[in-house]
Amino acid sequence: MHGRLWRTGLVVVLLLVWIIPGHAHAADSNWRKVVDKIDNTLQQALETYDKGDVAEAKTQVNNAYYGPYESGQMEKAVKYNISSKRNAIIEEEFRLIRKSMTAGAPKAEVKRQMSKLVDMLQEDAATLSKSDSSPFGIFFSSLVIILREGIEAILVIAAIIAYLIKSGNEDKVKIIYQSTLVALGASVLTAIGLKYLFNISGASQENLEGITMLLAVAVLFSMSFWLIGKADAKRWKNYIEGKIQTSITTGNTLTLWLAAFLAVYREGAETVLFYQALVSGQEKVGVSMIGLGILVGALALIVIFMIIRYGSLRIPLKPFFIGTSILMYYLAFVFAGEAITELQAGYMVSATTISGFPIISFFGIYPTVESLIAQGLLLLATVIGLVWYAATSRKGVGKPEGKHMLG
């Protein structure tokens, strides 16, 4: 199984290398030209706004974001070569311009906001140009992308596999590997479809990613509490005895399969799109360095997976379950904030900005009421769940979780 996984992973890496170079477009290699396009579109929006057509002006601001900034690959380049926080700030500036137009702000105020945004983008363009300038810089950017995206997925997969082994269900590990391989293939096909086959708008892409992340939140959150419920030795003994009497079926492992699939699928599709951004306009040497970064990163992820996969088996049962539960909850919390920001970018969810509120990308915290409410609800559900768990534990309830996730 490990040999097939290794070979399949290598095939996917080679497929990514093949897909990306064939569709590079040199027009986007100069980030300053991308910023100039954004500036021109914003100036058109300002003129439209001055004429009194607020709706059309806001549409043109959206065009500047979804066109040159997003489709021109600058959004992804900023996110990975500078920081996710910087990208969130840029997105917020676009929102503030639209908000000012809606409020009927004076033309001078809207113009000032646009100038501020363009100045920030020019700074980012200069930074991106420097990061693109050397073969090592290109290699490093490529390596960081696959490591950053892959590690999150690996943490989820390795934790699930370790649980199956600890629970005496090693024969079900193959289901998780199958889910991972299906997700890898689906990621590549989805990215290709979004980029080249389907005429899907930038807003629709944002909404699709947001919905996928919300599904991941639900699955990871449920798994987090399920694992906490098994940390107690007596509860675990009851669970294992139940499994001796009733074997686990493939159908009952659906939740675990889905968790692995969503973890890989969500990261995989985005990874392909990020590489498309990185390769834009690169010469042959640059493309080779990107390919090398992908290969080295893929091999590093395999090593990381093996370390986590086998190292976790040596951790005592209770610390392992509690630690894994915390990890799952952390990812659910981060995804909740990021999912709402994606849906806000796609206009599926409104965005009410909190002025002066910090952006903490490590925890997926962004300065909008809606994203904070989503994470607040998750925290509230956690508090209620923990109180309920503590209450049932004191009463000596053996199986407070009701139906098992696996049977």
3-state helix, strand, coil in the chain (%, to 5): 80, 0, 15
Q: Same structural domain for residues 169 and 105? A: no
pTM here is: 0.57
Shared-domain flag, residues 319 and 175 = yes
> Does 79 share its domain with 152?
no
Is residue 144 located within the same domain as residue 119?
A: no
Main-chain dihedrals φ then ψ at residue 368, nearest 5 degrees: -130, 145
| Residue ranges making up the domain that contains 262 | 134-394
3-state secondary structure of 365: strand
Confirm whether 152 is domain-assigned.
yes
The answer to whether the CB of 37 falls within 8 A of the CB of 72 is yes
Q: Which of 101, 131, 161 is the last residue of a domain?
A: 131
| Domain end residue (candidates: 76, 110, 131) | 131
- Co-location of 283 and 269 in the same domain: yes
**Inside any domain, residue 121:** yes
The domain boundary residue, chosen from 131, 159, 174? 131
Mark whether 244 and 357 lie in a shared domain.
yes
Extract the tokens encoding 106. 């004076």
Assigned domain for 58 exists: yes
Helix, strand or coil for residue 246? coil
6 domain residue, yes or no: no
pLDDT of residue 109: 94
Q: Is residue 9 part of a domain?
A: no
The pLDDT of residue 244? 33
The answer to whether 362 and 218 are in contact (CB under 8 A) is no
Considering the domain architecture, whether residues 343 and 204 belong to the same structural domain is answered as yes
- Kindly list the distances between the CA atom of residue 103 and the CA atoms of 19, 60, 72, 106, 346, in Å, as whole numbers in the listed order: 45, 17, 29, 9, 21
Let me know: does 239 contact 404? Beta carbons within 8 Å: yes
User: What share of the chain has pLDDT > 90, as a percent?
Assistant: 16
| CATH code of the domain covering residue 84 | 1.20.120
**Does 329 fall in a domain?**
yes
Same domain, 206 and 308: yes
Positions in the chain short of pLDDT 70? 1-30, 72-73, 131-134, 137, 167, 194-203, 205, 226-253, 270, 273-274, 276-286, 312-318, 320-321, 392-407
Q: From 403, 407, 363, 295, select the one nearest 88 (Cα to Cα).
A: 363
Q: Do 121 and 142 sit in the same domain of this protein? A: no
| Residue 3 lies inside a defined structural domain of this protein | no
- Give residue 95's Cα distance to chain centre: 21
Both 143 and 284 in one domain: the answer is: yes
- Say whether both 173 and 286 belong to one domain: yes
> What is the number of structural domains in the chain?
2
Give a yes or no: residue 118 inside a domain: yes
Q: Are residues 74 and 208 in the same domain?
A: no
